Structures are given as structure tokens and as C-alpha cells.
Structure 1
């Protein structure tokens, strides 16, 4: 099942080329907050595998006629996995990997949805795309084993972890507004037999920069959930970005970024550098 937000926060199920509006059918679950209708659905649904929704008699609209939004506009946490592909470790000449670095947090205010623009903050600092598989937590997880990890997954989505190559801490460089494009929907876990076998491709400006399979992750999805849950409690609606492969590169004004993940979906966003400033003009740059 593919679940999407559209047209100012309505919740829909993608069915072929149509979107079936299930918003009213879930009205008895209460009113969604700022985290959105899908997050509310995840939090208020006791999951034992995928929860089917009866689509009989519900209104349908062609996907081409709706405005898709970020399926999780304000996740409780966005957790990043640094250096989780060996080829990315090699291209960046890192001496460490996720096994040494652990995980980091991104601001949930950095989320945007399909068709929106990544805003470049600086004119003279490189800002890169990083295409990643996103894991959406469905059940509270604390100290779960790798063998039981997938029992705590609600579904999967596409994530772009946009990153400024400057000197600040990782969480700062990756938390600018618009730096976490998410979508176009969440595919429930029952539709993905094994998240560690998915093909991933990321194009920028019509050229392929990244192509891999999640089989090449250093910490696979199961191990990543187990490790992360040993550090922090994972709650329904949290998102884990599983790491990026080799091929990260600079973004320019007017670029289109397209991330395709097998069995998950296709996320496309633009790039806008019209409001970028010189790095030396950032607030606090003269404070010593």
C-alpha cells in the first residue's frame, strides 16, 4: 500500500494511476496535528503487519491532478546514517564509517515534498545531493535485535539528505530549511520483501550521479534499526535515512534532482540558488 498526503494535508492511497481519498474514513481517529494525517494514522494504528484500508466507494482522483506533499511533513525525529556505503567512504576519503561515527539528527523543519525546491544557502560553499532509502518507524523500538527490527517498520520512502560542505557539525550542515526532500509517498512494509535488495538511482540535471543497491549498505536496514534503537528510543513516524552511496556532487540553481528507488517510488525536486549569500555574510560569522 502506498500512502500519500495531497492537496493541503489530505490522506490518500495510491491505486494504479489514481489516488483514493481516505481522509474521511479515518476521521474517527481524531484530528491530525502539524505532523500530518499519515503520522497520525501511524500513531493511532496498532500494527501487526500492514493495516488494510477498505477503498470501496471512496472518491478517486487521477494522480496527475493532485499536488503531492511530503508524506511526513514533520517527523518526530529524522536520523541520519553517515558513511554507510564503502564507495562513499572512498570517494570522500573518510577514514571512518558509521561503525565509528554512529548516527546524527536532522531538524524536522528541513522536510519538503515532491515538486518543491531545495534552497541553496551559500554562493561559495558546495551543496551536495545525497540520495537515500528512508525507513519509517511504525512501532516503538528500544534495544531491538536485528532479527526483530523489521517488525518495527511501518514502511519506506525516498529521502534526499542535502548537505553543505562547510565546517560546521553534521547536523547543522544538513538541517537547513528544505534540506530533507521526502516522498512521494510511503510504501508499507508488507510491499517490500527485503529492504536490503533495492536498486537506487539519483540523477541531477538529467545525468546519473548515483546508482547502487541497498545490498551494499555497511549497516543494513536491520542492523541500522538495532544500533539506533540502542542509542535512542524510536517512535512511530520517526524516519531513518539509511546513508548515501558514491556520486554525491554540487548542486546549481535550476537543477532538477530525481531519486528513484526500486519498489518505493520516484522523488523529484528543484534547486533554487537565487537567495544564496556568501558564506562570510552568514549571521555570527564575525563573532569570535
Structure 2
């Protein structure tokens, strides 16, 4: 199932014909100041809501996708985890770059880092570039959305805790500062355009990732080449911090990262998962 957030935090199902069926009425009525948590509520109550949703969409009239304004499918995650340097070729390109001094060589030596949850943005939001005199790179990534929470989750059970997957961009200011600072600016974690539920993805290590800037293909890779695979990322990260429904995990970027300038259109496509486009804009 494909799930979207749109307009004023409404929730919908995206059909195979690119039509939208709203399902917000199936969720508890939240006060206005808590509506951004609707998707978290759906994820937390998925086992109860899923059969109701399947019945609901049989009788409801869909609307055109163009008639709604897509926002980040998980607008207000509690935590945003990220796996650094998780493809060998990317680690090598960073070691050969001017920023190699601040980058350990392989993902298994680095564990994880956190991005600010306020850095999350959606497919119709601009990527706001905070500097005119610093290099800012795109990083295309598969993003996992956690369904069941837990601590110290065994790797062999980890994928059972995944609610779904989406496309993500881990935007990054290059430089000597701590990763979390360089990657946590507003709009530096675009995700979308929708969540594909985990039952639709048989193997998250068999996906193809492509990223274009304007019409130039910059990144092309396969998730099978991750150094730390998806299930072990969950196991390692949950050993440190308890995972909760709706938490995001950015799983690492492959080689081919490059600069983004105001006006550039950045597009990521992941096979079986979907596509996300966002245009860069100067914040300064």
C-alpha cells in the first residue's frame, strides 16, 4: 500500500492509477496543534487500522493526485537516525576529497548519527541552501520508517519492525563541523513522495538507486552494496537508543555525491519504492 500525507496533514492512500483516497476519518480526531502526528498515529495503530482502510477504499471516490499538495509522508518523526559512509565506493570518494580529514573510512567503525527531526521536508518543499560560500552536497538514500518500537532488536527480527520505505535526500554541508550540525538545517532531509508499506518490498537489499541533478545522472547504485545492511542497522541503532513508531532511518548514500546550487532540481528514484524531486533555493 502507498500512503501519503497532504494539505493540512491529511492521510491518503495512493492508488496504482495515481489517484488519492483520503482515510483521515478513520483516525482519532486530534486537536489542530497535534495534526502533524497523524501519520505516527496511523503507524502505531496499523494492525487495527489496516483492515478498516482496505474496506474504506473500496467504496470511496478517489481524487486526482494533482488536486492535493503532497507534504512529507512522516511530517513529525520523533527521531531521524542515519548510517554514515555505508557504501565502499562512497567512502573511497570521500577519503580522496578535501573533506577526508573528518571522515572515518568505513561505516562499521562509525555506528550512527542523528539529524534534527525539524530537517524533514516534503516533495513540494524547496531545499533551502544556507550558505553561498560553502559546498553543499546531495546524498541519495533509502529511508526506512519504523513500525514497531523496541530496544536491542535482534538483527534476525529487525525487518519485522519496519513499517515501510521511502526515498530520502541527506543534504550535507561539507566541512570540519560535527555531522549532525552540517546535516540538520531546515529542509536537509526531504522524504517522499509516499510510504510504500514493508509488505510490498520483498528484500530491501535488492533495490536500485538513481539520482539526477537536473538531467545529469550523478548517482547509480544497488542497496546490496551497503556495508551495513538494513537489518543490522536497526539492530545496532536500537542497541543505543530505543526506536519508536515513525522513526526514520537514512541508510547511507552511494558514490557520486556532488554539489547543489540554487535552482537545481534534485530527483531520486528507488526501484519498487518510488521517486522524489525537490528544487534547491538560496536561503541567504
| Fold shared by both chains (TM-score > 0.5) | yes
What is the distance in 2 between the residues matched to 1:194 and 1:42? 21
For residues 23-102 of structure 1, what are the structure 2 equivalents within 5 Å?
23-24=24-25, 26-27=26-27, 29-31=28-30, 33-46=34-47, 53-54=54-55, 55-93=57-95, 94-102=103-111
Look up the SS of the partner of 2:59 in the other structure: coil
Question: Is the 1:47–1:139 contact (alpha carbons within 8 Å) kept by the matching residues of 2?
Answer: no
Which deviates further from its counterpart, 193-202 or 96-105? 96-105
Residue 50 of structure 1 and its aligned partner are, at CA, apart by 9.0
Question: Is the 2:12–2:20 contact (alpha carbons within 8 Å) kept by the matching residues of 1?
Answer: yes
Question: Is the 1:35–1:75 contact (alpha carbons within 8 Å) kept by the matching residues of 2?
Answer: no
Q: Deviations over 1:194-232 (max 9, x none)?
A: 001001001012101100110000011111111111111
What is the distance in 2 between the residues matched to 1:98 and 1:262? 24
Query: Normalised by the size of structure 1, how large is the TM-score?
Result: 0.90
Residue 8 of structure 1 and its aligned partner are, at CA, apart by 1.7
Q: Which residue of 2 aligns with 1:18?
A: 19
Q: Deviations over 1:135-182 (max 9, x none)?
A: 000001211111111110000011100000122110000000010101
User: Residues 198, 51 of structure 1: CA spacing in aligned structure 2 closer, same or farther, 3 A cutoff?
Assistant: farther
What is the distance in 2 between the residues matched to 1:259 and 1:215? 17
- Equivalent pairs counted in the alignment come to 273
Q: Which residue of 1 aligns with 2:223?
A: 214
Question: Is the 1:49–1:190 contact (alpha carbons within 8 Å) kept by the matching residues of 2?
Answer: no
Question: Is the 2:9–2:36 contact (alpha carbons within 8 Å) kept by the matching residues of 1?
Answer: no
Look up the SS of the partner of 1:56 in the other structure: helix
Question: Is the 1:138–1:155 contact (alpha carbons within 8 Å) kept by the matching residues of 2?
Answer: yes
Q: Which residue of 1 aligns with 2:139?
A: 130
Question: Is the 1:50–1:189 contact (alpha carbons within 8 Å) kept by the matching residues of 2?
Answer: no
Question: Is the 1:111–1:180 contact (alpha carbons within 8 Å) kept by the matching residues of 2?
Answer: yes
Give every structure 1 segment of 4 or more consecutive aligned residues whose post-TM-superposition deviation is greater than 6 Å: 47-51
Q: Considering only aligned residues, what root-mean-square deviation do their CA atoms show, in Å?
A: 1.8
Q: Which runs of 5+ in 2 are unaligned?
A: 96-102
Residue 40 of structure 1 and its aligned partner are, at CA, apart by 1.4
Q: Which runs of 5+ in 1 are unaligned?
A: 277-288
Higher helix share: 2
User: Residues 104, 35 of structure 1: CA spacing in aligned structure 2 closer, same or farther, 3 A cutoff?
Assistant: farther
User: Residues 169, 95 of structure 1: CA spacing in aligned structure 2 closer, same or farther, 3 A cutoff?
Assistant: closer
What is the distance in 2 between the residues matched to 1:162 and 1:123? 15
Query: Normalised by the size of structure 2, how large is the TM-score?
Result: 0.92
Residue 115 of structure 1 and its aligned partner are, at CA, apart by 2.1
Question: Is the 2:120–2:191 contact (alpha carbons within 8 Å) kept by the matching residues of 1?
Answer: yes
